[in-house]
A and B are shown apart, each in its own frame.
Chain A
């Protein structure tokens, strides 16, 4: 890969609480290549969603703000853009789909109009052309009989079809990067497989790059090219999928993998990670995983490990990593 499509450098999301600042996402850096699918995993509250919303500058509360060195996409630095510039870019360059399609589709607007709205806004085409385009996009996301479905309202769609419709709304603007925030969590397993397959097809056909946020390593394992693990607002490991799943080096990544119900299916007891993540307004000085880490040593308590390149293409933030050749 030459220059990556999306370069994120030191992205932080900070909340103002009374007189002090709480850092919810702490200096996130990663690259996303063209046609790459990056899986962003972590437990709830680890900052996965907030990081991506920060990227889009769609922060859910007014006391949140974004800081960072640079977020470069298609020749723009997103951090330097004002709100108007960002609005032109959002949708056209960066699309986003959400966990719960019901709450992100307008219930009073026909599906076709919701898709066409973005197309008209970004491409400046006529209503009629936008409608034709909307039908075409609906066909691409696998809605049967798109010509009549285009005039349906969201409540007339099933859960899986609504998720397809939301993907269609995002695709209508022809973005280069699609951020998918837990797109299958609210769906049944059989429908989940259909939607994941659709996302893979779209990547192959359109060269779309994706950031797939998920708490389920199983979902990520079957779709992504690379995996980034977040813990308590920080990236703790980032590498190619096969390496991350076969030989995770951060004790948290390894723990997360062992917790998956599909890991060691023959064992009687489930593997767990004892304890709980630290509260973000009361973070320890050292490594944030130290209190739950089976590998912890005194240094971990004192010094926050930085995310460094452990081997080509594999970054790691840990003082006591597991050895590359297996468990240490």
Chain B
């Protein structure tokens, strides 16, 4: 498979409330702190991690919706961080995003048909005369009846709104879709419908999908590969099946242990992970995970962990295998 997207050592910083009189000593939050990942054409990559770890910021920086301050985002071989306006315009035409809250991502005053028409007009993918027909096709593609084009988001259910969000993303015929927690706000029975739709669209259209979620159960069902993020860095990356059966980073292991299982015989994990993530304003030295890590060695607080690469798997930890 050809690599569609390559992210190398990406850095995103935001200004934070500084200290000192009149904010003379400004501070920065490193939301994304040297993250790297690859995505092949037609592949689904799950990006997981706790809230605040920088998943959404990474996604927005990839799509150039948030400026980054270092590293590269190679889309189809072009570094978009240094991209010309023409490059960025191409990125806009070939990528799309689906958001978490389907209601707030759609304009409540527009009809569904207008929402989709607007994208088609701006991106000029189809001639103006064919737009109404294309709107109908898009709605059909995501399993909605064409009559819904006359409705406004307020009269649709959450699941229907999310389908409209997906239809809008598909309108540009993207090669890459970034879905940011796109099923988190939906009920389980509806969640499954949306995930099945994404699975089906991926098969039919060969879409690459970057699927951001905090729900590892969903990743196991939907994704080919998974990248685990902790405090702005990717700590482990690899094929879903391998990572889930034998995680190598202690953080990944704790996350997998914490998945709420429906097996009543399984007890709650005995404190899989103590404490909570530290503030990104004040990143721990060395390995960012070491204050919570039960396998930490004395040196972990001083030096950054080495990166181990074995076949399709990659993780950043002192230990090359998860200690028992």
Contact = CB atoms under 8 A, between A and B. Distances in A.
Interface string A259-273: 111110100111111
A31 interface: no
B260 interface: yes
Contact of B258 (A192, A200, A241): A192
B261 A191 contact: no
Contact of B189 (A43, A193, A216, A222): A43
A223 interface: yes
Nearest to A196: B268
B159 A190 contact: no
A221 B262 contact: yes
Given A189-B255, A197-B268, A265 B216 contact: no
B207 to A, nearest CB: 17
A276 interface: yes
A158 to B, nearest CB: 5
Contact of B260 (A160, A194, A222, A245): A222
A160 B276 contact: yes
A43 B188 contact: yes
B83 interface: no
B264 A218 contact: no
Contacts of A160: 276
Contacts of B218: 261
A271 B192 contact: yes
Contacts of A165: none
Given A218-B259, A256-B188, A257-B262, A193 B269 contact: yes
B307 to A, nearest CB: 23
A272 B273 CA distance: 32
A2 B189 CA distance: 38
A265 B220 CA distance: 7
B195 interface: yes
Contact of A272 (B51, B192, B217): B192
Which of B187, B257, B263 has the largest count of A CB atoms less than 10 A from its CB? Answer: B187
Interface string B51-80: 100000000000000000000000000000
A190 B254 contact: yes
B254 to A, nearest CB: 6
Nearest to A271: B192
Contacts of B220: 261, 265
Interface in B243-281: 254-255, 257-264, 266-269, 271-273, 276
Contacts of A159: 51, 276
B271 A194 contact: yes
Given A158-B276, A189-B214, A197-B268, A218 B192 contact: no
A265 B188 contact: no
Which of B255, B269, B276 has the largest count of A CB atoms less than 10 A from its CB? Answer: B276
The number of chain A residues touching the other chain, given as a range, is 35 or more
Interface in A219-271: 219, 221-223, 241-242, 245-246, 255-257, 259-263, 265, 268-271
A255 B187 CA distance: 12
A188 interface: yes
A44 B187 CA distance: 7
B86 to A, nearest CB: 40
Interface residues of B, number: 39
A92 interface: no
B88 interface: no
B192 A270 contact: yes
A293 interface: no
A14 interface: no
Contact of B221 (A216, A222, A270): A270
Given A188-B214, A270-B196, A256 B189 contact: yes
A315 interface: no
Interface in B274-319: 276
B236 interface: no
B199 interface: yes
A262 B188 CA distance: 11
A276 B273 CA distance: 38
Contacts of B261: 218, 221-222, 262
Interface string A179-197: 0000000001111111011
Contacts of B260: 189, 192-193, 216, 218-219, 221-222, 262
B258 A259 contact: no
Given A189-B214, A190-B273, A269 B199 contact: yes
Given A43-B187, A269-B199, 4 more contacts: A189-B215, A190-B258, A222-B264, A261-B217
Interface of B: 50-51, 157, 159, 187-193, 195-196, 199, 214-218, 220-221, 254-255, 257-264, 266-269, 271-273, 276
Interface of A: 43-44, 158-161, 188-194, 196-197, 200, 215-219, 221-223, 241-242, 245-246, 255-257, 259-263, 265, 268-273, 276
By Cβ-Cβ distance, the 9 closest A-B pairs, closest first, are A218-B260, A261-B217, A270-B192, A272-B192, A273-B189, A188-B50, A43-B187, A189-B258, A190-B273
